[in-house]
Chain A
């Protein structure tokens, strides 16, 4: 029983998206493909323990799912489909040799991140259709109610079908912009997973793994896209530091106090290699710059100190690509290291001008640490209070409370 379960799970992870993409390629009906596939997985769980796992489990699942799809299409003849359509579907589904299922996951990723699909649902949609994650789990990771997430996913799939969103790789002139949307969605999934709290919250931590997995798929399928390489390098660099963020007793360790020896060297090596390969392709982009920034911090492993001049320059370049307050905040923190705290405070964005920052915890945390260094204790106190009030990770909250105490003494 357990073997069959494990086999089904392993196949779900590696083949789910491939099978969905293949089944939905022609009529763009992702929901029907997923339903048929989930029936096929259910059949596998009863069949495989009894008769053993088939030699070609992927083809087995596809055959069962196809049958379900064809049955479903036949049943709908009288309602919405003409008999000709059904013959078409049957013919196209049956045409491919079961042993060779083409990998159309990239086309599926492009459909999930199509400009007609709401930005906020792109990452969840991709996690569901490419990796088979269920709505409840995605909902928890994205802090949305499961019922709402379920409805949004259904609506997005309906849109793919009814709006005629193509399941194909965009043309060359469209590709850069469309690829950026795919990358953004993968990175959004990773960012949700990165904000993991203590150990019990495994749904989120696994989300980071799933996003990395998507990054790997993308690099495998679009291996000569420098930004795809850049994104994977970026995620690996960040992931390499996951365990250094907590002390052995579970306390939060801020980035600048992490022991670089606790960073994962295999991941760093892989990231550096990806970044070099991206650089050879000669087209710079946002994710490569962000990965290069992480790479400049790795300098600390060898020399004990990060390469701050490089870091400020890279932030300047990054601002050219995305003039976001998030980048500006991090740039200001880097300027504190090269030009001092006063210069950094000048470079900080201002919540008076951009009201969104009032709810943005890193803004207050950055302000608090800069103000504390200049001795502006009253202002620092307020900023720490805001950072503490907006933080959801208890370990970080405790850390900030300790910092606040320090300036009160």
Chain B
């Protein structure tokens, strides 16, 4: 079953890190990604650019509205995701718990709607 890990964290935290700390942080994500691959559960992942680079589009009012910035202004922002294929929710939670993002932010674990 596929699960999407949505990684939320305060972007400002990253900006405040030293170059060394950033390198270490990136290495932790690399190691985590490799472990997912080796366990053969990795489907995909991406890191997202800051919400400052986001553009929001809607046509709910019948008219196109294009807005600079993220969909919702929140204390923690969506910063990336992992898509994994694991047997069940227990296993998904165990893997989300190992993700470096769980330490400096919050991970939402969402089952993918199977089509």
Chain A contact residues, CB within 8 Å of chain B: 143-145, 148, 197, 358-359, 385-386, 388-392, 394, 397-398, 401
Q: Are A386 and B34 in contact (CB under 8 A)?
A: yes
| Category for how many chain B residues contact A | 20 to 34
Determine the residue in chain B with the shortest Cβ distance to A359.
B39
The 8 A CB mask of B36-56 against A (1 = contact, 0 = none) is 101100000000000000000
Residues of B within 8 A of A144 (CB): 89-90, 93
B1 in the interface, Cβ–Cβ < 8 Å? no
Interface centre among A145, A389, A390, A401 (most CB of B within 10 A): A389
**In chain B, residues 47-84, which have Cβ atoms closer than 8 Å to a Cβ of chain A?**
none
A390's contact among B27, B89, B98, by CB below 8 Å, is which?
B98
Residues of A within 8 A of B97 (CB): 143, 392
Q: Are A388 and B31 in contact (CB under 8 A)?
A: yes
Determine the residue in chain B with the shortest Cβ distance to A400.
B31
Query: Once the chains are docked, how many angstroms separate the CA of A212 from the CA of B55?
Result: 53
Determine the residue in chain A with the shortest Cβ distance to B88.
A148
B19 in the interface, Cβ–Cβ < 8 Å? no
Rounded to whole Å, the gap between the CB of A146 and the closest CB of chain B is 11
Q: Are A394 and B103 in contact (CB under 8 A)?
A: yes
Determine the residue in chain A with the shortest Cβ distance to B104.
A394
Rounded to whole Å, the gap between the CB of B26 and the closest CB of chain A is 11
Query: Once the chains are docked, how many angstroms separate the CA of A390 from the CA of B95?
Result: 8
Query: Once the chains are docked, how many angstroms separate the CA of A386 from the CA of B34?
Result: 7
Q: Are A389 and B93 in contact (CB under 8 A)?
A: no
Rounded to whole Å, the gap between the CB of B89 and the closest CB of chain A is 6
Q: Are B90 and A389 in contact (CB under 8 A)?
A: no
B10 in the interface, Cβ–Cβ < 8 Å? no
The 8 A CB mask of B5-16 against A (1 = contact, 0 = none) is 000000000000
Residues of A within 8 A of B38 (CB): 358, 386, 389
Q: Are A388 and B90 in contact (CB under 8 A)?
A: no
Given contacts A143-B94, A389-B33, contact A397 B28 (CB under 8 A): yes
Query: Once the chains are docked, how many angstroms separate the CA of A144 from the CA of B32?
Result: 21
Q: Are B24 and A401 in contact (CB under 8 A)?
A: yes
Q: Are B90 and A385 in contact (CB under 8 A)?
A: no
Query: Once the chains are docked, how many angstroms separate the CA of A144 from the CA of B91?
Result: 9
Query: Once the chains are docked, how many angstroms separate the CA of A178 from the CA of B61?
Result: 66
